[in-house]
């Protein structure tokens, strides 16, 4: 047996250190799962404010001048306090130590120096990978994640080493829509090689793209679900990159993300008030009541509580969600529906939403909350505790994304018995089995899904969910099926290890 293979896992966000979305959850879980398989994984991310406080044993490994920016830099080494994952932090205060978000300021405006910030991260990753910064440590493979790390394979191509002495590169697309597109001026400012400014390299419709750099220069490309790896070859979902992806199709695959059940499991979730499991679902009803109380909704056991934890953007289906809520609430407000639950043909519906996003969708939800304050609740922003409590308290979880590379909330919803209603695209289609007569009978049904992205299809599927909710025995059977699904990282990590071995490590 040789020495354990070394993986440098580079990401712009890692849970629980820094998070804006699913990328952080993956970057926080996959390295740990790979470690369980005997792979040595070092995670690298920027030292954003407050990150070091969530680590322990942090020490300075080296100090140097980062060549892309010219700023003084420190590389810090330690472990994530929550789980012991080994992590390197790139500390460049001028680039990363600032108030606001990871990628934008408090007004949701992108930081103007984002190209420099993530070019610096990519350059340092390359130095680490080839052994220039930490004596005795070289990577066998660099696992790059999304556009912020797209320059790593490109920069590695410039290093004057034999191919056999360079690490392999894997570039994972978490969402093709985020491409890191910047101007020619930024290209020149970063002193990119002139021969990279061409359509078969980094140039992209008069600008240049970090993500395209990863697609062009990496040894292998993968996406976060098998279906999405096929969908991005088509113009409708390829986001302008479909031609390049078709060209590299022989080096493209998909591995479904996993769910971290150490963090997301109602049986031992410290963020919810009443634990529960498939053996005893009593706690779920208590969590529902607690969520109704917390969000100022009418206290009702019989109402169907629909949860959403999402960015309020078109990709997540809000052009369908808003009219669905409006139609259901307008219908409920009619006098004929003011009956006792026993006499009502369909259950009353309540809605709770956690998220932030495009102003038009935010305003629409705010208006619905104003009109129906006891039935429509919204919390603008992100709150990890509330996200867990929504999963634990709601009956149905709504996730009709126009496209979805993988999605994690539907996996969490399955485990929490909050039946997901999804558009069957990408990872949503790979992880949720629609409830119909056949799948209910054979015990495979786990939620609700529809194929064509149209409002009438969402409304019809939602109607089916409401009808099934009135049949507690059937609902309970599907709920049990859902909660028993296993989308843990263990299986996905094995597939990543097979891919690493295919790349020669």
Please tell me whether residues 229 and 313 are part of one structural domain: no
Average confidence (pLDDT) over 251-269: 95
Average confidence (pLDDT) over 145-163: 96
Average confidence (pLDDT) over 111-128: 98
SS3 (DSSP) at 396: strand
Q: Are 114 and 103 in contact (CB under 8 A)?
A: yes
| pLDDT score of 1 | 40
In a domain, 253, yes or no: yes
Helix 151-158 × helix 114-129 angle, to 10°: 50
Name the residue with higher pLDDT: 343 or 272.
272
In a domain, 273, yes or no: no
Average confidence (pLDDT) over 10-19: 96
pLDDT digit string, tens, across residues 211-224: 999 999 999 999 99
Please tell me whether residues 345 and 361 are part of one structural domain: yes
In a domain, 22, yes or no: yes
Q: Are 227 and 430 in contact (CB under 8 A)?
A: yes
Please tell me whether residues 312 and 364 are part of one structural domain: yes
Does the pLDDT value for residue 502 go beyond 50? yes
Helix 455-469 × helix 318-332 angle, to 10°: 50
Please tell me whether residues 288 and 207 are part of one structural domain: no
Global confidence as pTM: 0.89
| pLDDT score of 344 | 52
- In whole angstroms, what is the distance from residue 72 CA to residue 90 CA? 11
Average confidence (pLDDT) over 470-486: 97
pLDDT digit string, tens, across residues 45-65: 999 999 999 999 999 999 999
Which helix or strand (DSSP H or E) is residue 190 part of? none
pLDDT digit string, tens, across residues 431-462: 999 999 999 999 999 999 999 999 999 999 99
| pLDDT score of 168 | 97
Average confidence (pLDDT) over 364-384: 96
Which CATH number does the domain housing residue 372 bear?
A: 3.40.50.2000
Please tell me whether residues 244 and 293 are part of one structural domain: no
Q: Hey, how many other C-beta atoms are within 10 angstroms of the C-beta on 215? A: 24
Please tell me whether residues 457 and 341 are part of one structural domain: yes
Residue 242's contacts (CB-CB under 8 Å, 6 or more residues apart) are 232, 233, 234, 235
In a domain, 274, yes or no: no
* Helix (DSSP H) and strand (DSSP E) numbers for the chain: 19, 18
In a domain, 271, yes or no: no
Does the pLDDT value for residue 259 go beyond 50? yes
Lowest mean pLDDT among 119-123, 334-338, 369-373, 434-438: 334-338
| Peptide bond connecting 148 to the previous residue in cis, omega within 30 degrees of 0 | no
Name the residue with higher pLDDT: 108 or 105.
105
| pLDDT score of 137 | 95
Give whole-number Cα distances, 135 to 21, 42, 131, 384, 411, in Å: 34, 15, 6, 38, 41
Please tell me whether residues 424 and 316 are part of one structural domain: yes
Looking at the 3D structure of the chain, how many domains does it have? 2
| pLDDT score of 336 | 54
| pLDDT score of 505 | 84
Please tell me whether residues 80 and 208 are part of one structural domain: yes
Please tell me whether residues 106 and 217 are part of one structural domain: yes
Residue 15: domain span: 6-258+490-502
In a domain, 266, yes or no: no
pLDDT band at 346 (very low <50, low <70, confident <90, very high): low
Number of residues that make up the chain: 505
- In whole angstroms, what is the distance from residue 318 CA to residue 3 CA? 50
Please tell me whether residues 287 and 244 are part of one structural domain: no
Does the pLDDT value for residue 12 go beyond 50? yes
- In whole angstroms, what is the distance from residue 454 CA to residue 409 CA? 22
Please tell me whether residues 201 and 103 are part of one structural domain: yes
Does the pLDDT value for residue 126 go beyond 90? yes
Please tell me whether residues 465 and 391 are part of one structural domain: yes
């Amino acid at each position: 047996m040789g020495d354990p293979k070394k993986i440098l896992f580079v990401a712009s966000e890692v849970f629980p250190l820094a998070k804006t979305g699913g990328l952080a959850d993956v970057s926080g879980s996959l390295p740990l799962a790979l470690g369980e398989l005997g792979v040595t994984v070092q995670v690298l991310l920027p030292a954003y404010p407050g990150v070091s406080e969530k680590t322990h044993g942090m020490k300075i490994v080296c100090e140097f001048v980062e060549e892309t920016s010219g700023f003084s830099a420190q590389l810090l080494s330690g472990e994530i306090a929550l789980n012991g994952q080994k992590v390197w932090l790139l500390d460049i205060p001028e680039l990363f130590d600032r108030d606001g978000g990871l990628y934008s300021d408090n007004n949701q405006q992108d930081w103007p120096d984002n190209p420099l910030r993530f070019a610096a991260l990519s350059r340092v990753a390359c130095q680490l990978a080839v052994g220039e910064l930490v004596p005795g440590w070289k990577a066998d493979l660099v696992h790059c994640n999304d556009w912020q790390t797209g320059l790593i394979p490109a920069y590695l191509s410039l290093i004057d080493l034999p191919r056999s002495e360079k690490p392999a590169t894997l570039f994972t697309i978490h969402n093709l829509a985020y491409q890191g597109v910047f101007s020619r001026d930024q290209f020149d400012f970063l002193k990119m090689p002139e021969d990279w400014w061409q359509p078969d390299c980094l140039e992209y419709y008069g600008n240049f793209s970090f993500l395209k750099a990863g697609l062009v220069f990496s040894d292998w490309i993968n996406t976060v679900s098998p279906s999405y790896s096929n969908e991005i070859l088509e113009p409708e979902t390829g986001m302008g990159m479909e031609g390049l992806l078709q060209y590299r199709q022989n080096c493209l695959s998909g591995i479904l993300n996993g769910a971290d059940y150490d963090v997301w499991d109602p049986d031992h979730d410290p963020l919810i008030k009443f634990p529960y499991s498939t053996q005893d679902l009593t706690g779920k009803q208590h969590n529902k009541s607690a969520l109704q109380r917390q969000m100022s909704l009418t206290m009702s056991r019989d109402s169907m509580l629909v949860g959403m934890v999402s960015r309020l953007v078109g990709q997540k289906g809000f052009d369908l969600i808003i009219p669905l809520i409006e139609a259901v609430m307008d219908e409920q407000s009619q006098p004929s529906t003011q009956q006792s639950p026993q006499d009502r043909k369909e259950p009353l519906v309540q809605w709770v939403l956690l998220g932030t996003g495009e102003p038009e969708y935010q305003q629409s939800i705010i208006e619905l909350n104003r009109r129906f304050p006891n039935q429509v609740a919204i919390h603008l922003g992100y709150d990890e505790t509330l996200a867990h409590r929504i999963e634990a308290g709601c009956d149905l979880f709504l996730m009709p994304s126009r496209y979805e590379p993988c999605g994690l909330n539907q996996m969490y919803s399955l485990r929490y018995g909050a039946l997901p209603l999804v558009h069957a695209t990408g990872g949503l289609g790979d992880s949720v089995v629609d409830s119909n007569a056949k799948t209910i009978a054979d015990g495979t049904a786990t939620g609700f899904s529809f194929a064509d992205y149209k409002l009438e299809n969402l409304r019809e599927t939602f109607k089916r969910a409401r009808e099934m909710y009135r049949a507690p025995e059937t609902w309970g059977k599907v709920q049990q099926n859902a909660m028993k699904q296993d989308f843990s990282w263990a299986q996905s990590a094995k597939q990543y290890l097979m891919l690493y071995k295919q790349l020669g490590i």
